Structure 1
Amino acid sequence: MSGTDASTLTENAAGARPARKTAANGAGLALALRFALREMRSGLSGFFIFLACITLGVAAIGGVNSVAQAIGAGVATQGQELLGADIRFELNQREADDAERVWLESLGTVATSAGMRSMARLPDASDQALVEVKAVDDAYPLYGELITEPPLPLDRLLEARDGVYGVAAPSLLFERFGIGIGDSLLLGGQEFELRAELVAEPDAVSDGFGFAPRFLTSLDGLRASGLIQPGSLVEHTYKIRIDGGASDGELRQLTEQAGERFPDAGWSIRTHLNAAPALSSNIERFSQFLTLVGLTALVVGGVGVANAVRAHLDAKRTVIATFKSLGASGGFVVTVYLLQILLIALAGIAIGLILAALMPFMASAALASVLPVPSQAGLYPDALGLAALFGLLTTLAFALLPLGHARDVPATALFREMSMSGKGWPRLSYVVAAGAIVAALCALAIFYSEERRIAAIFVGATIAAFLILRAVGWLVQSMARGAPRVRSTALRLAIGNIHRPGALTPSVVLSLGLGLTLLATLAMIDGNLRRQISGNLPEIAPNFFFVDIQSTEVDGFTSLVESRSSPEAKLIKVPMLRGRITALNDTNVREMEIPPEGGWVLRGDRGITYAVNQPENSTLTQGEWWPADYDGKPLVSFTSEEGRELGLELGDTITVNVLGRSVTARIASFRQVEWETLAMNFVMVFSPNTFAGAPHAWLATLTDEAATSQDESALLNAVTRSFPTITTVRVKDALDVINRLVAQLATAIRAAAAVALIASVLVLAGALAAGNRARIHDAVVLKTLGATRRTLITAFALEYMLIGLATAIFALAAGGLSAWFVVTRIMTLPWTFLPEVALSTIVIALVFTVGIGLIGTWRVLGHKAAPVLRNL
C-alpha cells in the first residue's frame, strides 16, 4: 500500500471536513476500486465456482428465452406461409353456404380444402392404417411451396386418370404398407394412386398435430370416396390471399366484420398474425418452465456465490485486519470486496450472455428436424437483458450477508480467529437489502411468466425448499450433537465433524438439496406418466374408438362387432356432433377474461352429444338429470372441474354453435368425469330435444379384455372392409404415439433438470473447497496426535455419506410431494410412488457427496504438518 493510499484511507476513515464530504466519498470509491483491482491481479483463485454458477444460470435463462423468441420470430415473419393464407376461415361438419362463399371470394383469391381422419387400406383389404386426409383444390398453396419427390405440378400429382385419383404421402405411409410409388390404396370407396412422396407442406403447422400420416389428395377425390356424409367429422377450410395485401389492422377489421355479417356461422378465424397458436403457446409455456428451471439453477448457484464470498473473505482476513488497523471503516471494506464481487459477477454474466446469444444459432439446425417452423436466429436483447438482471440480482442477494458479517468484525478478532464465519445476523440494513433483492427476483420471475399462478407456486416452493433445507441442516447437526458416543474412532470423528462450528453440513445440504429435489420431482412425474400410458391405461381404456358411423350403418356395424367379439365385450355408442362455445350467460367469450386453466374448453370446437340417461362413467356433483321424456327448453350437463375453472354455476347459460346454428342451453347439472380412463367422455351432454333432427354421425367404443392382438387386427380388418367410411382408431396405436411424445418431452425436461443438478454439484464442490482451511488444520492436528490417513479418510467418507443420505431423504420427500401435487391435482391422474426413482436419487446424492468430498479431502491429507503447526 503506497503512502498516498494509506494517507487517503486514514483521512476518509477519520472523517474529512463536512465541506469535503462529497469529494471524500468520491475519492473513497475510487480508492476502493483501486484496491479491488490491485487484489485481483493475483487471479480468480476461489472464484471459479462462483463464475461457473453465474455463467450457467445466465446462459440457461438467456438461451432458453432467446431460442423461444427466435421461434416466435420465425412464426411471425413466415406467418403467411405457415397459415397458407392472409386469413383463414374454418367450418366443422358443413361447407360455407352461398352467401358466405360470395363474401369470402370478394376478399381475394380463395383456396378451399377439407380435412378428416379415415382409414386407408390395401386393395386386397389385407392391411389398413389411419391417415390424416387433406383434400385441396387447384389454388393450393397460396403461399409457400409444396415439395414432393419426384417433383410434380399439383394438377398432375392429384388428377384423376381412368377414375383413379392421385395422392402424395410421407415416407412413413409407404413404409407402413410396404409399397412404393405407383401402387394403389383405397380410401372409402375410391382407389388412389401413390404418385409422389410428400416431403414438405408449407401450411402443415397450422393444421395442428396429427396422429397419423398425411394423405394429400384433391377435393374431387375426397368427394368420390364417399367419406363426406351428413354429420361426418370433416373440417372445411377457406384460405384467402388478399389482393394487394392487408395491414394488421385491416385483418383484425375483417375478423370483426365476419362476426358481424355472419354471427351464426360458427367458423374459426385465424390470420397470419397468429398462424400457429397452439405451437406458439406450447413453446411459450415450455420456455417459461425452462426459465424457471434456469432460475432455480441460478438460485442454487447463489449458494455458491455466498460460499465463495465467505471463503474469499476468510482468505483475506489479514488484509481486512490491516485495513481496519489503518483506520478503514467497515463500509470501506465492504465497498472494496463488493466491487471485486461485482466485477467477477459481470465477467460470469458476460460469458453466460455470449453462450446465450449463440444458442439460437446452434438450436436452429438442431430444431429443424423437430419443429415444422424455422427459427430466426439472431440477438434478442430482451432475453439477454433479463438473464443479466437475474444474474446480477442473484449475486447481490447472496453476497450481501457475508459482506455484512465482515463489516462488523473487529481487527483484533480477525487476527485471532481462523474463520470469517460470523454468528447471528449482520446489520439490519444488509438483511433488509438482501430481502428486497430476493423479493425483486421473485417479482420478476412471476411478472415475466404467462402462467403467473404456476410461476408463483414455483417461486413459493423454491423459497420453502430453501427454508426447509436450512432446517434440515440444523436438524442433522442437532441429531449428530445428541448422538450417543460410539466406539468407532472414524465414526465418532464423522459425527463430530457434522455438528462442529463451521461444519459443512448446512452448505452441503442446501447446495445439493435443491438440485436433487428438482430431479426427483421431474423423474417421478415422468415415471407416473409413462406408467399411466404404458401400464394402467391399456388395462382400463377401450380397445377401439369408431368414428363417423352413419345412422344407416349403426345396426349393421353393431351386428358385425358383436359377432367378432367375446361375450364379455362391451360396445357403447353415442351420437356425436361438433360445436363451439360462443357465449357464456349471453356474453361473447371473446369479450371475457378467461382463466388460463379453463381456456382450452373455449378454444376450437368441442365434441358434444345428447343423452336420455346419465352416462355410466360419470357422477353427478350438483343438480339433477332431466327426465327421460323431457321436452322443454334445452338443458346441458357440464363437467364440474371445467365448469369451476370457467366460473359457471347451476342455472347459467351456454351458447354453442353447431352446424351454423346457435343453441342456448341452461346448465342443469355438473358431472365428475374420469378423463384418464379414455372412455367416451364429453365436457357437454345435452338433453335429447336440443338437437332433434340435426344430422350427425355416431361414436362408439369397444372394450374387450379377452381380445388378443390377432383378434384386434381381424376386427379392424373386418370393419374397414365392410364399412370403409368408418374411421377405426386402435387405442394401443394412439398410446404408442403419445408415449413417443412423452419420451421426447421427458428428454428435454431431464436436460433442463440436469442444469440445476450441475449447478448443485458446482456449489457442492465450492462448499467443500471453502472448508479446506479448517480441514487442513483438523487433519494436521489429528495426524500429529497419531491418527492414520486411513482413519481420517474413513471419517471424512462417513461424514459425507451421512450428510448425503440426509439430503437424499429430504429430496425424496419434497420431490415426491411436489410430483404428487402435479400428477394428482394438475394432471388429475393416479399417483404411484416409484422406488426406482428413490433408489437412483439416493445413489446420485451419495456418489456426488462422497466422491467430490473425498477428492478434495485427499488433497487436504497431503499437506505438510510443519507450516500449519507453525501458524497455530
Structure 2
Amino acid sequence: MRLFSRFFSRPRAPDFPSRTGLNWSLVFRLALRDFRGGLRGFGIFLGCIALGVAAIAGVGSASLSLSDGLARQGREILGGDVSFDVPQRELSDAELHFLASHGRLSRAATLRAMARGEGGDAVLVEIKAIDGAYPLAGEAVLDPPLGLAAALSERAGLFGIAADPGLLQRLGVAPGGVVTIGEARFELRAALTSEPDQLAAGLQFGPRVLMTAAALQATRLVEPGSLIRYHYRVALSGGAGAAPASDDAVDAFVADARKSFPEAGWDIHSRMNVSPQFAKNLTRFTQFLTLVGLTSLIVGGVGVANAIRAYVERKRPVIAILKSLGGTGSVVFALMLTQVMLVALLGVAIGAGAGAALPFLAAYGFGSLIPFPFEPGLHLSAVGQGVSYGLLTALMFSVGPLGHAHDVPAQALFREEVEPRRGWPRLRYIGLTLAAAAGFLAAVFAFSVDQKLAFIYLCATSAAFVLLRLIAFLMMNGARRLPHSRSVAIRLAIANIHRPGALTPTVVLSLGLGLALLVTLTLIDGNLRAELGHASPGQTPSFFFLDLPASKAEAFTQFLKAQAPDGSVRLAPMLRGRIVELNGLSVDSARPKESVAWVLQGDRGITFADAAPEGSSVVKGEWWPADYAGPPLISLETDVAAGLGLEVGDEIGVNVQGRTIVGRVANTRKVNWRSFGINFVLIFSSNSFKGAPHSEIATLTFPGAGDPAREALLLRETAGAFPAVTSVRVKDALDALSGIVGRLAIAVRAASSVALLASILVLGGALGAGQEARIHDAVVLKTLGATRVRLFAAFLVEYGLLGLGAAMFGLAAGGGAAYAIVSRIMGLDFVWVWPQALAAAAAALALTVLLGLAGSWRILGRKPAPYLRNL
C-alpha cells in the first residue's frame, strides 16, 4: 500500500487508461514497483514452473546431445563411411570389386560361440574376426597397450585374441592365459577396453572377442548354414590422410550400390544413419519422457492457479486503492497479469537454465558410464520448447483466477473481510483462458513427432482432470450428506472436506494426477520385468543351442538325452533372411504399422516345417500337407500379417543367402511368444529350401525349476563335446534384457519423480493458501473449548480421507492406463503387480497426511487473542 500511495501522491494525476485502451507503460511501471516488496507468496509458483520447464528442456537437451554425438562420431561408430552387412554368405567377387573401387575396404565377420578356460568353464562370447585394415575409423584400445597386429598375430602355434574385460573375470584368465574357442586354442594377450564400432554391433549377449580371419578359420566354427554375419566397411576418402567424403558423396555411393546390385540382400548403413532403429527408439523415448515432464508441468499448473488465487486475495487492499483512484477492472487485471508473467519468466529462466545445464552435468558426473557418444551442448530448440510450455502453462492457469480481480469492490479498502465474488470470471477472461489452452494444445502437437501419441496423451490428461474434479465434487457432496457423527473430530473433518474454500479439489487433483502417473509407470515396469522373468517349469526352455550343423543334429540330440534324460529336446532348421518384397513391390514403399515395422528392418530368423510348431495355432487358411511339392508357401504370424496389411494369398519375397525366394501366404497363425520356445514369424513349406545349407536350432527344457549347478555342468560338457555349438542359457539372456529395461526405468523414474515433486509443491501451496482460514477456524473452535488434541485428530481424519480418495483414483486410473499400454500397445499379457502399486498408493496417502499435519501443527499453536480482535 505504501508503494502505491507514494506513486499516486505525485503532483500530476495518474494516467489511467481510457475506455479505448490501456496505458501499458504505466501498467509495467506499477508492476515493477510492486516487486520492491519481494516475491513473497510466489515460491510455489516459481517451483512448479521451474520444475516442469527443467524436465522438458533437460530431456530434450540430453537427447539432442546424444544425437549430436552419434552424428559427429558416426564414422567412428560405424567403422567407415558406409557398412554393407549380409548374413550367412560372403560377397561375390563382383560385389567386392565394386566396393573396393570406391575407397578403402575392411572386412569383418561376427558370430556367437563358446569360450572355455583352462578350468573347463564355458562362457558365451561374441566373436569379431577382422582383417588388417580394421578399423577404418576410430581406434581399438587394448590393455596392455598393444597394436592390433601384435595382439592378434600367431606366435608359437597360437593365435592371439583381445577380449572384453568381462571375459577375463568370468573365466578367471589374465593376459597371457589360454582360452579355447571352437577347436582352436588362443593366447589372451590383452583386454579390449574400447571397441570403436561397438554401438553399430547392436545388442550383445556376451563379451566381445577380437581375432583375425585366419584365427576364425582355425576354430572350424564356420560351416555351411552357420549363423555368421559378414560386415564390409568402406571409407570413401581414398586415403588415410585425406578428408572424409561429403554427405552427398556418401548418399550417391549408397544409391549406386542399391542400383548396381538390387538382389544382394545386404543391409546398408551410412555414417549419417548408423542405427535407424536406435535413432527411432531414441526419438520415441525422448517424446515419452517429454510427456512425463509435461505432466509435471500440468500438475504444477494446479499449484500456479492456487498461488494466483492467494495472490489476488492478498492484493485485495491494493486493488481497492486502484479502484478508488479511478482504475478500472481492466487496469487491475492487466497489472496483475503483467506481474504474474514476469514471475513466470523468472521461473522459466530458472528451469531453462537447469535444463540446458543437464547435459553438461551428466557428462561431468556420469560421462564414463554413458555407453554412447555424448556431446553436451547448448540446444536452443529444446530450451525453447520448455520455455514455450512454461509460459503457456502459466498463462493458461493464471488468467481465470486473475479474472476475479476485475470485480474486487472498492469497499474492500474499508473492510478487512468482504464476501468474495463467487462463480465464473467474465467471458473475456474465459475466452483468454481458452485461447491459452488452445496455444498449449497446438504446442504439444507442433513439438510432437508422434501425433497419435500426443493426441492420446492429451485425451487421457483431459479425462483425468475431468474425473478428478468429479471425484472431488462427489467427495464434497457425499461429505455434506453424511449424517452427523458423535465424534467431534470426525464431524469437523467431514465439515472441512465440503466447506467453502475446502482443500478437497486441489488435493485430489494434484495428488491424484501425480499418483496416477506413478502407478502407470510402476505397473508398466513391473509387467516388463515379469514378462522377462516369466518361466513355466517344464514349458520354458532352459537352453537354446545355435549353430548346430544339420549333419550332427542326431548325434547332438542323443548327447542331450544322455546328459539330461529327464529333459525335453526340440529341434528346428534355421536360416537368416530379409523381407525385400511384398506383393511384388519393394519394402521401401511399404507403410507398416509401427508395432511391426521391425520385421522389415534387417534380417530375420526363418525356418521350414511340415506341421505347425508347438505354441502356435492357425487362425486363417490351412497348413500345407506333409508331402507338398508345389511353389513355396508361407505361414505368417497373425499380428505381423495385420501390421503389414497382408492376407492369405498375398506374396512375400525373402532374400536368403543372396537369393530371393517368393512365397504365397497359405495361413496366418497366433504365436504364444511367452513360452520362449522355438517359433518364427515366417515358416516356409519344407520344399522351399531343399538342398540349401542351414543349421539347426535346439532347445532343452527341464521338467522342474532350473538347477544352476546342473546347468553349469551341462554348459561345460556341451562346449567340450560340441565346440562349434553355441549354448545360450535362457536365464542369462533374460537377465541381459532385464538389465536394459532397468536402465531405461531409471530415466523414467527420474522424470516421473519431477511430477511427484510438483504434486508435493502443489499440496504444500494449497495448505499454505488455506492457512489463514484454518487459523480462524482453529481460533474460534479453541475459544469454544476445543482442545489441541481434538483439532489434531480432526485434521488427521480430513487429510487421511483426502489422501485415500486420491490414492484410489491413482490406483484405478494408473492401472487402466498401464493395462492399455501393456496389452494394446506392447501386445503383452497384463498382470497386476499389487505390491508396487499398493506401495505407491500408501506412500501418497502417508505424504498427504504428513504434509497436512505438518502445516496444521503451526496453526494449533496460535494464540486466539490477536485474531479475535479482527473478526
- The aligned runs of 1:685-724 (5 Å cut-off) are 685-706=683-704, 708-724=707-723
Cα distance change on mapping 1:11 and 1:312 into 2, 3 Å: closer
Instruction: Give 1:163 shift.
Output: 2.5
Aligned to 1:626, which of 609, 613, 624? 624
Aligned match of 1:213 in 207, 219, 225? 207
Task: Return the match for 2:602 from 582, 599, 604.
Answer: 604
Deviates more, 1:782-791 or 1:299-308: 782-791
Alignment of 1:582-601 (within 5 A): 582-601=580-599
1:261-311: CA deviation from partner (whole Å, max 9, x where unpaired):
111100011111112334333332222121111111111111111000000
Code of the residue aligned with 1:447 in structure 2: it is A
CA contact (8 A) 2:538 2:702 kept: no
Instruction: Tell me the amino acid that sits aligned with residue 589 of structure 2.
Output: E
Specify whether residues 645 and 408 from structure 1 end up closer, same or farther in structure 2 by C-alpha distance, changes over 3 A only: farther
Stretch moving more, 558-567 or 225-234 = 558-567
SS of equivalent residue, structure 1 residue 498: helix
Alignment of 1:39-118 (within 5 A): 39-118=34-113
Q: 1:133-166: CA deviations, max 9, x gaps? A: 0110000111111110111122111111232110
1:175 is aligned, of 169, 178, 184, to 169
Give, as a single letter, the amino acid of the residue that structure 2 aligns with 1:54. I
Distance 2:577 2:381 in 1: 40
Q: Indicate if the aligned counterparts of 1:538 and 1:732 stay in contact, CA closer than 8 A.
A: no
Q: Which residue of 2 aligns with 1:145?
A: 139
What is the TM-score normalised by the length of structure 1?
A: 0.95
Q: Any idea what SS the aligned residue of 1:120 has?
A: strand
2:870 paired residue number: 871
- Per the alignment, residue 18 of structure 1 pairs with none
Q: Deviations over 1:417-463 (max 9, x none)?
A: 85886533223332233233223323322332333323322222112
Give me the whole-angstrom Cα distance separating, in 1, the residues matched to 2:713 and 2:604: 32
Contact 2:515–2:841 (8 Å) recurs in 1: no
Q: Which moved more, 1:137-146 or 1:632-641?
A: 632-641
* Ranges in structure 1 where 5+ consecutive residues have no aligned partner: 16-20
- Partner residue in 1 for 2:154: 160
Structure 1 residues 371-412: Cα deviation after superposition (integer angstroms, max 9, x where no partner): 333311211110101110000000001001111222234444
Q: What amino acid does structure 1 have at the position aligned with 2:827?
A: T
Q: Which of 230, 233, 236 is 2:227 aligned to?
A: 233
1:303 equivalent to 2:289? Answer: no
Q: Map 1:818-857 to 2 at 5 A.
A: 818-857=817-856
Counterpart of 1:33 in structure 2 is 28
Residue 599 of structure 2 is aligned to residue 573 of structure 1: no
Give the superposition deviation at 1:8: 5.4
Q: Structure 1 residues 141-150 or 411-420, which shifts more?
A: 411-420
Segment of structure 1 superposing worse, 246-255 or 757-766: 246-255
Secondary structure at 2:533's aligned position in 1? helix
Higher alpha-carbon deviation: 271-280 or 597-606: 271-280
- Aligned partner of 2:633 in structure 1 is 635
Letter in 1 for 2:654: V
Q: Deviations over 1:219-269 (max 9, x none)?
A: 110111111111111110111111153221221121111111111100011
The offset of 1:540, in angstroms, is 4.2
Work out whether residues 319 and 408 of structure 2, in 8 Å CA contact, stay in contact via their aligned partners in 1. Answer: no
In structure 1, C-alpha distance between the alignment counterparts of 2:374 and 2:343, rounded to whole Å: 33
- In structure 2, what is the equivalent of residue 438 of structure 1? 437
Cα distance in 2 between the residues matched to 1:478 and 1:404: 27
Whole-angstrom CA distance in 1 between matches of 2:552 and 2:72? 48
Against the structure 1 CA distance between its residues 647 and 421, is the aligned structure 2 distance closer, same or farther, given a 3 Å change threshold?
A: farther
1:679-701 deviation digits (Å, cap 9, x = unpaired): 11211111122222211111111
Q: In 2, are the aligned partners of 1:537 and 1:676 still within 8 Å (CA)?
A: no
Distance 1:722 1:625 in 2: 38
2:666 corresponds in structure 1 to 668
TM-fit CA distance, 1:757:
0.2
Q: Is 1:388 the counterpart of 2:390 in the alignment?
A: no
Q: Does 1:197 align with 2:191?
A: yes
User: Is the 8 Å Cα contact of residues 406 and 420 (structure 1) preserved in structure 2?
Assistant: no
Are the structure 2 counterparts of residues 632 and 795 from structure 1 closer, same or farther at C-alpha, using a change threshold of 3 Å?
A: same
Query: In structure 1, how many angstroms separate the alpha carbons of the residues matched to 2:48 and 2:330?
Result: 27
| Partner SS state of residue 101, structure 2 | helix
CA distance in 2, matches of 1:628, 1:443: 59
Once residues 35 and 407 of structure 1 are traced to their aligned partners in structure 2, the CA distance between those partners, rounded to angstroms, is 17
Letter in 1 for 2:608: Y
Alignment-derived partner of residue 544 in structure 2: 545
Structure 2: distance between partners of 1:6 and 1:468: 56
**Change in 2 beyond 3 A, CA 1:777/1:539:** farther
Q: Which moved more, 1:437-446 or 1:484-493?
A: 437-446
SS in 1 for 2:506: helix
1:760-775 matches, cutoff 5 A: 760-775=759-774
- 1:556 and 2:561 aligned: no
Identity of aligned residues (%): 48
Q: What do residues 168-199 of structure 1 show as CA deviations (whole Å, max 9, x unaligned)? A: 01211011011111111111111111000111
Aligned partner of residue 273 in structure 1, secondary structure: coil
| Alignment deviations for residues 303-354 of structure 1 (CA, whole Å, 9 cap, x no partner) | 1110000000011112222222333222111101000100000000111111
Structure 1 residues 600 and 538, CA gap change in structure 2 (3 angstroms):
farther
Task: Output the CA distance in 1 between the equivalents of 2:624 and 2:848.
Answer: 64
Distance apart, 1:852 and its partner CA: 1.3
What is the TM-score of this pair, normalised by structure 2?
0.95
Instruction: Name the CA shift for 1:594/1:842 in 2 (closer, same or farther; >3 Å).
Output: closer
**C-alpha deviation, 1:538, in angstroms:** 6.8
Q: What amino acid maps onto 1:60 in structure 2?
A: A
Identify the residue that residue 515 of structure 1 maps to in structure 2. Answer: 514
| CA RMSD of superposed structures (Å) | 2.0
- Taking the aligned partners of 1:721 and 1:439, their CA distance within structure 2 comes to 68
Count of residues in correspondence between the two structures = 860
* SS at structure 1 position matched to 2:550: coil
Counterpart amino acid of residue 60 in structure 2: N
Checking the alignment, whether the CA contact within 8 Å between 1:310 and 1:420 is kept in structure 2 is no
Deviates more, 1:29-38 or 1:344-353: 29-38
Counterpart code for 1:753: S
Q: In the aligned structure 2, how far is the partner of 1:640 from the partner of 1:366?
A: 47
Check whether the contact 1:82–1:276 (CA below 8 A) recurs between aligned residues.
no
Do the aligned partners of residues 236 and 8 (structure 1) sit closer, same or farther apart at CA in structure 2, a change above 3 Å counting?
farther
Aligned pairs (5 A) from 1:402-481: 402-412=401-411, 418=417, 422-481=421-480
Q: Which runs of 5+ in 2 are unaligned?
A: none
Which position in structure 2 is the counterpart of 1:12?
A: 17
| Cα deviation digits, residues 102-155 of structure 1 (max 9, x gap) | 11110111111000111111256x211100001100001111111101111221
Distance 1:689 1:654 in 2: 16
Question: Within 1, Cα distance between the matches of 2:685 and 2:427?
Answer: 67
Q: Alpha-carbon deviation of 1:3?
A: 4.2
**Relative to structure 1, is the Cα distance of residues 406 and 720 closer, same or farther in structure 2, using a 3 angstrom cutoff?**
same
Q: What per-residue deviation string (whole Å, max 9, x for no partner) do you get for residues 733-767 of structure 1?
A: 11222232222222222222111100100011001
* Separation (CA, whole Å) in 1 of partners of 2:327 and 2:419: 18
Contact 1:62 1:383 in 2 (8 A): yes
Structure 1 Cα separation of the partners of residues 132 and 293 of structure 2: 49
